[in-house]
Amino acid sequence: MMRNHILNSYSVYGYQETGGILDFIFCGCSRLDDRTGEHMQNQSRLAGRQYLAMMAVWIIAGLLINVANLDRFLNFYSSQSLVELEFLVPVVVILFMDRFEVMRGTRMKFIGIKVILWTALLSLILLPITNFLNLFSQLLVPNEILARIAHYSLLTGSVVWDKPFLLNLLYMALLPAVVEEFIFRGVLFQGLRNCGLFKTAVITSLMFALAHGNLNQFLYAFASGLFFTYLVEASGSVYASMLAHMCLNSVAVIFVYLERLLPENISSVMVEAENTSVRDLSPVYWIIYGVIAIACVILAVIVIRTIAKTAGREQIYHEARKGHGRLKGKEGRVFSVELLIGLLIPIVYIAIMLLVGLIRS
């Protein structure tokens, strides 16, 4: 009975996927001793400090670039790299100061070919959901990505889409997928994980969405963040969410380049359709697209459960969804002062940008 209790604790806290029984014998007991309420509360505070540091660096760097007019020295690719560095550097620095303690449980294991295929399918299923939310947000604000691409194309005098396909794929799909998933579904997810899967999924998705710094990307980033978090829990690896994120971003890049290969009469029709104002879309269009998006949500849930079964984590995933192993009371709190301040920074920034946009219009 004692043996069953130990092994159940071992699987609940997520170490089953990091190694075999020898890993548990040599490392598991000390790890479980560390998993006190005070220790996990410290991990939650650490996640809050990491997010606060990210947002502080992001906002300070943005202000410096704007005040000193440094934007003229950047192009789309250097700007994209800078944003990812603004997120990554403070997280890694704090991890180093903490001796990479939280990384012990971070789910960085390779995934099998079947999980890869199911994950690729999941990313395609998520497309109608994210596209619908993207369009819906454009009833209020413009498409942020297209605006940034147009801004840097005008600033540098070169069109982003005239650059090599692999270059755009690297900066628009691979780079953000690897960096952002490592941070949000890797480090921050692990730091908050023992507060419960649902609570952690919502908070890390909120952090992820707000980190985009605009209302347009907020909605679909939050939705995709939820699915990515459950995908990591189901697959047992952050590599799965990196793959899904990369596939999701890659589709838009691939579509643009395919569109440019079409005959001029067809591509001109597609461009005209793309330039149609979202406000001019008919109610029937919104209803049909909304129904498709809801159907895809259901399909995505089914696929994630299938991934858990394929990865041999069906029972672990089921227990995580039911809230087994989560800390309760004071030890189970997600929010800390640092996290609240970190969330407040992008909220205020987005509100100011919306206000500026209203004044200019």
Residues 161 and 22 in one domain: no
Residue 201 has pLDDT above 80, yes or no: yes
> Burial, 305: exposed, middle or buried (Cβ in 10 Å; 0-12, 13-18, 19+)?
middle
Q: Which of 260, 74, 73 is nearest to 162 (CA)?
A: 260
11 vs 296, more confident: 296
Residues 66 and 98 in one domain: yes
Residue 145 has pLDDT above 80, yes or no: yes
191 contacts 170 by C-beta, under 8 angstroms? no
Token pair belonging to 100: 């990479």
Helix, strand, coil abundance in the chain, percent, nearest 5: 85, 0, 15
Residues 9 and 74 in one domain: no
Residues 152 and 268 in one domain: yes
Per-residue model confidence (pLDDT) at position 53: 94
Residues 219 and 238 in one domain: yes
Residues 6 and 115 in one domain: no
Residues 244 and 208 in one domain: yes
Residues 148 and 18 in one domain: no
Q: How many structural domains does the chain have?
A: 2
12 pLDDT tier (thresholds 50, 70, 90): very low
Residues 26 and 48 in one domain: no
Residue 262 has pLDDT above 60, yes or no: yes
Q: What is the mean pLDDT of residues 100-123?
A: 85
Residues 151 and 7 in one domain: no
Residues 27 and 44 in one domain: no
Name the region of 336 (left: φ>0; alpha: ψ -120 to 50; beta: rest). Answer: beta
Per-residue model confidence (pLDDT) at position 69: 85
Domain span including residue 16: 1-35
Residues 100 and 213 in one domain: yes
246 contacts 173 by C-beta, under 8 angstroms? yes
**What's the rounded Cα separation, in Å, for the pair 274 and 17?**
45
Residue 13 has pLDDT above 50, yes or no: no
273 pLDDT tier (thresholds 50, 70, 90): low
